[in-house]
Structure 1
Amino acid sequence: MTDISSLTPVATFCGKCSCGCPELFIDESAAPERRVVITDDFGQRVEMSADQFGSLLEEAKTGRLDNVAVA
């Protein structure tokens, strides 16, 4: 699993089990383009800028990602 001890937790997605649900973190020590971190239950992580994460949020708010949730 990826080391998350230095990251600031923001949100846990699912949270209804103890299987290592995906989580959203902020890494204050990272370069700005890698500050937002999403981890998954397979030990992987995605790093992105706040602007990139904001773009993802906007896509979700408009409903463009709704079909992904039912896949």
Structure 2
Amino acid sequence: MTDISSLQPVATFCGNCDCGCPQLFIDETAPADRRVVITDDFGQRVQMSADQFGSLIEDAKAGKLDSVAVA
């Protein structure tokens, strides 16, 4: 994965360990369609637009992702 030190951190998911928890960032220097960045603990990342991220949040709030959640 490329350096994330220039990205603006928004949220850390987990945060209870030192495993390299998944994180949400904003990349102000990226094109608008790649400004939201989600990293995982395997060194990978996904980039998307704010509209795409908003759609993901709406689906999560509506329960469409509940079957993916692991207890």
Asked if TM exceeds 0.5, the reply is yes
Over the residues paired in the alignment, what is the CA RMSD in angstroms? Answer: 1.2
Match of 1:30 in 2: 30
Match of 2:45 in 1: 45
Letter in 2 for 1:28: E
Match of 2:16 in 1: 16
TM-score (normalised: structure 1): 0.95
1:2 Cα deviation after fit: 3.5
Q: Show structure 2 runs of 5+ residues with no match.
A: none
TM-score (normalised: structure 2): 0.95
Measured against aligned partners, the alpha-carbon deviations of 1:18-71 in whole angstroms (never above 9, x if no partner) come to 000000000000000000000000000000000000000000000010110127
| Identical residues among aligned pairs (%) | 80
How many residue pairs align between the two structures?
A: 71
